[in-house]
Amino acid sequence: MTSPSPDPVDLRVHAQYRRDFTEEADVVVVGSGPGGAVVAKELTDAGVRVVLLEEGPPFTPADFEADGGISMARTMREGGLRTTRGTVMPTMQAIALGGGSLVNSAICVRSPEFVLDRWCADYDLERTARADLESHYDAVGEFIGISPTPDEVQGPRNLLFRDGCDVLGYESEPISRNVRGCRGSGECFTGCRSRAKQSMDITYVPAALRGGATVLTSVRVEGVLCEGSRATGVEGTVVEPLTGRATHRFRVNAKVVVLAAGCMATPVLLQKSGNLANGSGQVGENLRFHPGVAVMGIFPDEVNPRFGATQGMQSLQFVSQGFKLETLWAPPAIPAVRLPGSAMELKERLSLLPYAAIWDAIGSCNRSIGRVRPRRRGLDPVLSWRLQPDDVGILTSALLRLAEIFFAAGAHSVLPGVNGLAPEMRSLEEAQVLRTHPVRSTDLVVSGNHAFCTTRMHGDPTRGVVDESGRCHDLDNLYVADTGVFPECPSVNPMWTGMAIAHRTAGAIADRV
């Protein structure tokens, strides 16, 4: 293979920064995740001079690590060990070009009509019903190739879910994903070596680059600059990839600032910039998650779980009751850490991995509300959040449904992972204990990788941080374009909705610049 001549695009990586620097832009976008990448590309297409800033580096396939633990330590903030306080729950946010889309399972679902109607009714929103967002969903969907997972890459662990749902008469469907040419490697979490997943770093960011945007990686924004009631840019530190070691300072002057640093980092940036845009007092408040719980099922025949789309099938049957069911896979060490027992018992359970499938549920836990606050030093957040008893009920019901589907699909046992209950249940009758047993929040193994609402959108400036176009109520030229703007849980996987709303925000900014 011959050397250089990559196309002349303005992407900068850490090794290229030699000194402190200043850039000028019409619009500076902070964060290259699904929200920021869409805004950067759409504005570039509209002829706007954009500078996109990302703290993480680009990860090439040579940088991916198949090992779950090592990969997490490299691609996730706080090494993947970030947790909430109150109810202790791990929550992962990526630090990479492309943000969460680099490591997520590419699940794309439009938020149901009833959810968006409730957002409109309860948060004084006039243009956020499903019909209002449909064209934005479509534009994003077409660009990143969202389509249902074909059977040939489902693999048994996904198809068994469909079998179980069929037996019970539950609705199920192949998950629509932003992939092109998926090979069913089940390794979305550690980076798609097949280059099939259409994450932001291989879709929206290259498109923005081609259109003339400047993309600066390994730059950590530490503050929004303001003069009077206008934002004038951002400033921060150049950081070495993976270690975070500070090397230089930078500043970007811009007419419009867009914060898309994710719903944990954006409120911290606002708080650290003199409690900016917080006339409502809502910056960093209202933190919500879709806590996830999972059940492992053991089948009599080999399932060969390493083959198949990471998450290929779902059931939306219970979304109106507060939970969504899906199939799941991850690097084997990650499901394996859920196995109960130790010594020979643990080894025996591990030897069942080839016969195992894992299915999970995410809960619309709108009653469990937390907050994001900055630490005294650095930009990592302090997350306080408590899983409320009613929401524990939702998650326990979801566990029971998953057990039901496993047994209907022919599993001979399930491992629900609930403290205080038998680690392995061999029949649906045994699993019924989930109905009656008083499960506490600390009995569940939950994780919360879908997070939102910390800069929520509200029609009333005294009750929300941004308006429907993503513009901060308090600062005319400061926008937010990440999942922090959701007023409540979207009830299904958030990425597509976040991107649709960001697409609308880009349109609003383009109209004014």
Ligand X SMILES: Cc1cc2nc3c(=O)[nH]c(=O)nc-3n(C[C@H](O)[C@H](O)[C@H](O)COP(=O)(O)OP(=O)(O)OC[C@H]3O[C@@H](n4cnc5c(N)ncnc54)[C@H](O)[C@@H]3O)c2cc1C
Kindly list the residues in this chain that would bind ligand X in the complex (CB under 6 A).
30-36, 53-56, 92-96, 99-101, 103-107, 189, 220-221, 260-262, 265, 269, 379, 449-450, 482-483, 493-495, 498
Please check whether residue 366 is in contact with residue 63, taking contact to mean a CB–CB distance below 8 angstroms: no
Query: Binding to ligand SF4 by residue 187, rule CB under 6 A?
Result: yes
Q: Which of 33, 56, 68, 186 binds ligand SF4 (CB under 6 A)?
A: 186
H helix count then E strand count, the chain? 13, 21
Q: Which stretch binds another protein (CB under 8 A): 32-40, 41-49, 303-311, 458-466?
A: 303-311
Query: Smaller CB distance to ligand SF4: residue 331 or 370?
Result: 331
- Could you tell me which residues come within 8 angstroms of residue 477 by beta carbon, excluding any fewer than 6 positions away? 230, 231, 255, 256, 257
Taking the CB of residue 122, how many other CB atoms lie within 10 A of it? 11
Spacing of C-alpha 117 from chain mean position: 23
Any residues with CB less than 8 A from the CB of 447 and at least 6 apart, and which?
Answer: 89, 90, 91, 92, 291, 292
Q: CA 230 to CA 228: how far, in whole Å?
A: 6
Q: List, as one string, the DSSP characters of 58-78.
A: PPPGGG--SSHHHHHHHHBGG
Q: Considering CB distances under 5 to 8 angstroms, the limit depending on partner class, which of another protein, ligand SF4, ligand X, none binds residue 372?
A: none
Nearest distance, CB of residue 17 and ligand X, angstroms:
14
CA separation, residue 188 to residues 74, 112, 184, 193, 199 (Å): 15, 25, 9, 9, 10
- DSSP-assigned letter for residue 55: S
**To the nearest whole angstrom, how small is the minimum distance from the Cβ of residue 481 to ligand X?**
7
Is residue 24 within 8 Å of residue 254, measured between CB atoms?
Answer: yes
Residue 310 binds which one of another protein, ligand SF4, ligand X, none, with CB within 5 to 8 A depending on kind? ligand SF4
Of 31, 57, 262, 363, the one binding another protein by CB under 8 A: 57
Residue number with the smallest Cβ distance to ligand X: 33
Asked if residue 152 lies in contact with residue 309, where contact means CB atoms within 8 angstroms, the answer is no
Q: Residue 9 binds which entry of ligand X, ligand SF4, another protein, none, with Cβ cut-offs from 5 to 8 Å by kind?
A: another protein
Per-residue mark of binding to ligand SF4, 102-121 (x: CB under 6 A): ----x---------------
CB 264, min distance to ligand SF4, A: 25
Positions in 206-235 near another protein (CB under 8 A): 206, 209
Residue 246 binds to another protein (criterion: CB under 8 A): no
Q: How far is the CB of 208 from ligand X (least distance, A)?
A: 14
The verdict on 386 binding another protein (CB under 8 A) reads no
Q: Fill in the amino acid letter for 7.
A: D
Among 224-232, 238-246, 399-407, 479-487, which window interacts with another protein (CB under 8 A)? 238-246
Q: Which residues bind ligand SF4 (CB under 6 A)?
A: 106, 179, 182-188, 192, 194, 196-197, 309-310
